[in-house]
Amino acid sequence: MASELHQTQVDLDGLLEVLGRNLYSTPAVAIRELIQNAHDACVRSRLETGRDGDFSIRIQADSHRNQIVITDNGSGLTYEEVLKYLATIGSGYTRVLRDSSHNEDMVGYFGLGFLSAYVVAEKVEVWTTSYQTPEQTWYFSTAGGKKFAISATAPAQVGTTVKLHLREEFYHLAESDLLQGLIERYCCLLRVPIFLNNDDVQVNNLVAPWRLDAATSELQRKKRRLEFAAIFEGAFEPLCAIPIPENNPWSLKGLLWVQDRGGYATSDYRNISVFVRSMFITGECRELLPLWAGFAGGVVESVALSPTASREDIQKNERFYEIRDFLAETLIEGLRTIAANESSVWRRILSRHNQTLLGAALSDDRLFEVMQNDLKIPTTIGDVTLPAYLKQSGGVIYIRNEDKNSQEELLFRAQMKPLVSGYLYAASGFCQKYAHWNHLKAHILGSGDGETKLFTEETVDKAIHDKLAALLLRKNEALSCARFEPAHVPLLVIHDQDVALKKRIERDEADKRIGSAALSLARLHTQAISAEIERRLYVNLNSPLIAAMIDGTQEAAGHLAVAVRAYMESLTHQVDDSDSNFSDELKRFSDALLAITKGE
């Protein structure tokens, strides 16, 4: 059978149901779409007739009749345009005019805006008079959008009036306060003035800082930026504002700001509002800011950003990522400028966002350069800057990467030296980067390298070594002799973190709690590690207690060894420590002391 060519069929009822009910996330968008259409009609009139200066959009809210009326004095529609654009889904004159005139003032593009009226209204009425046929007014009506009627009606002024007879579930849209809020949110930057309920005060009277008159002083601009930022920053007050340079390839305008504080629930409070051709699209486009900028917010306006069909989000295309990178550069340079020129503001930024800025400094060398000596790191003596830390640590950075008591920390406390809490956000990475930049030493405790820097092993007679090993060692341990201060710390039990990691990987693999890719990477790190030695005992030859063990009888040295080991273990015992029980350690300590006092 020969192939046949058929026309694709469209189920209009199904299409209207899918688009009308599912295209928009909230029925309030319908008001935005109809205002957008009215705005574009005004821009069209200006482009095609040369008329300028007296355009407006007027909205009437009637909560008693459950109606909303939107009127503009723009271009209006001819009979043919009503059929071609108003009554045809996906067909819009705005797109045609923009493409032909290369004018970017018009907002619409997809030809779907009027469809939103069918979502909220059980009946829609339209009166429209085109500037091309000012003597003729057309009346269009539809219930649900599946069928419509069009007829000539009494002449009216050039422009268009749309009346929505709201569905019962959307009666609340006719409340004046709600409508005012929607206009202020979605249309605050539209240049065509919007008026509500015969009020002569323009609702969308917000002036963006990048639209201020050229004669505005820099002091006034700074003040206006902060006021503008406060409107869009929902969680916090803006601490300072950074204008976006306008000489960019995307016609991008706007500003970024630093919030005055953070929160406890998360460190990521990025928020950025996006306007495309002066119409608000979304306030949840945090992806335009870098991950490290959890303290920043912003407002941007650009014709280069492409909205989705519902105009409630931005398409993640190549220009989106170019603009994202540009905003990151703007934020970085803005922070550097503040650091150099506004010391009081910079100090407030550092004090409010110290932890988040540690991560930011790791992400960009330019930020690290200006912040490395000012940011504070968490240590066992509190939060201090690295220059202050180094004065107390002897010029070396010591880092512990586990959030648990350890014998290394015990030694540092005994020596009155600070220890960096490297397990907290970005602290370890920041310290290691600082050491690299400034040619310093950074030692991570619990690693083989860290231990060799803490302890210098000393060779002793084999008999002494064997005696101490027999007295002090437990399962899977090795003994090293060393000398360190203070002498009243007799020994330290150091857990090998690499061995602990290997054991965790083996447990996770057995429990299927680790992905194959992560498992492969982890194995590369741990495959050469022997799990036989899990802890290393460093015996302090400077300690009088160790000397007493070496010189004492086997029985006396045995009691002393049990007491010392149990005491040291109890000082850093962990609740989840599977190798020892706190009560058992205390009992060993008590029994050993009792035996010593009895002279056994």
Between residues 89 and 270, the one the model is more confident about: 270
Q: What percent of the chain has pLDDT over 70?
A: 82
| Other beta carbons within 10 Å of 547 | 14
Structure confidence at residue 275 as a pLDDT band (50, 70, 90): very high
Tokens representing 600 are 């056994």
Per-residue pLDDT at 452? 57
- Digit-coded pLDDT (tens) for 48-91: 888 877 899 999 999 999 999 999 999 999 999 888 887 655 55
Cross-strand partners of 452:
none
pLDDT of 137 over the 60 cut: yes
Please tell me the distance from the alpha carbon of residue 262 to that of residue 268, in angstroms, as a whole number: 8
The mean pLDDT of 557-583, rounded to a whole number, is 79
**Assigned fold of 455-496+533-597:** Four Helix Bundle (Hemerythrin (Met), subunit A) (1.20.120)
Is 50 exceeded by the pLDDT of residue 324? Answer: yes
pLDDT band at 600 (very low <50, low <70, confident <90, very high): low
Q: How far apart are CA 561 and CA 105, in angstroms?
A: 85
Of 114 and 343, the structure prediction assigns the larger pLDDT to: 343
Task: Name the pTM for this structure.
Answer: 0.79
Give residue 346's pLDDT band: very low, low, confident or very high (50, 70, 90): very high
* Predicted local distance difference test score (pLDDT) of residue 525: 46
Residue in the structure block whose two tokens are 């249309």: 187
Burial of 80 (0-12, 13-18, 19+ CB in 10 A): exposed
Tokens of 380: 């066992």
H helix intervals, 82-191:
93-101, 115-120, 176-186
DSSP code, position 405: -
72 marked as part of a ligand binding site: yes
3-class secondary-structure state, position 357: helix
Decide: residue 505, CB within 10 A, 0-12 exposed, 13-18 middle, 19+ buried: middle
Determine if residue 160 is labeled as part of a ligand binding site.
Answer: yes
17-196: CATH topology is Heat Shock Protein 90 (3.30.565)
pLDDT of residue 20: 54
Find out whether 92 is annotated in a ligand binding site.
yes
Write down the pLDDT at residue 100.
58
Contact 89, 118 (CB under 8 A): no
DSSP at 251? -
- State the pLDDT at residue 415: 87
Question: For 457, which DSSP code?
Answer: B
What ranges do the domains of the chain cover?
A: 17-196, 209-346, 372-448, 455-496+533-597
Band (295; pLDDT cuts 50, 70, 90)? very high
**In this predicted model, what pLDDT tens digit does every residue of 415-470 receive, in sequence order?**
888 999 999 999 999 999 999 999 999 988 766 555 556 788 899 999 999 999 99
- How do residues 155-194 score in pLDDT, each as one tens digit? 999 999 999 999 999 999 999 999 999 999 999 999 999 9
Buried b (16+ CB within 10 A) or exposed e, 455-477: beeeebeeebeebbeebbbeeeb
Name the burial class of residue 246, with classes exposed (0-12), middle (13-18) and buried (19+) by CB atoms within 10 angstroms of its CB. exposed
What is the C-alpha separation between 127 and 454, in angstroms, rounded? 86
Residue 529's pLDDT band, with cuts at 50, 70 and 90, is: very low
Is residue 138 within 8 A of residue 82, CB to CB? The reply is yes
pLDDT, mean of residues 271-283: 93
On whether 4 is known to bind a ligand per the annotation, the reply is no
Is 403 assigned to a binding site? no
* Average pLDDT value over all residues in the chain: 86
Q: What is the pLDDT of residue 110?
A: 44
pLDDT of 526 higher than 50 = no
CB 21 within 8 A of CB 13: no
Q: Residue 451 — φ and ψ, nearest 5°? A: -65, -45
For residue 72, count other CB atoms closer than 10 A to its CB: 28
Report residue 543's pLDDT band, with 50, 70 and 90 as the boundaries: very high
Confidence at residue 513, expressed as pLDDT on a 0 to 100 scale: 55
How much of the chain, in percent, has pLDDT values that exceed 90? 60
- Which pLDDT belongs to residue 282? 92
The answer, yes or no, to whether residue 113 has pLDDT greater than 70, is: no
pLDDT class for 125, splitting at 50, 70, 90? very high
For residues 234-248, average pLDDT: 93
At position 251, the amino acid (one-letter code) is S
CB contact set of 218 (below 8 Å; sequence gap of 6+)? none
Segment 41-50 mean pLDDT: 89
β-pair partners for 600: none
Q: Residues 6 or more apart from 459 whose CB is under 8 A from it?
A: 481
C-alpha distances in Å from residue 159, one per residue of 102, 111, 195, 382: 23, 19, 16, 69
Neighbours of 364 (CB within 10 A): 18
Q: What are phi and psi for residue 378, nearest 5 degrees?
A: -80, 130
The two domains 17-196 and 209-346 share their CATH topology (first three levels equal):
no
Whether residue 547 is predicted with pLDDT greater than 80 in this model: the reply is: yes
Q: pLDDT tens digits, residue range 364-408? A: 999 999 999 999 999 988 999 999 999 999 999 999 887 777 788
Residue corresponding to tokens 């290393």: 536
Alpha-carbon gap, residue 263 to 294, rounded angstroms:
10
CATH number of 209-346, picked from 3.30.230.80, 3.40.190.150, 3.30.70.100, 3.30.390.50:
3.30.230.80
d(CA 439, CA 128): 76
Least confident of 68-82, 128-142, 372-386, 577-591: 577-591
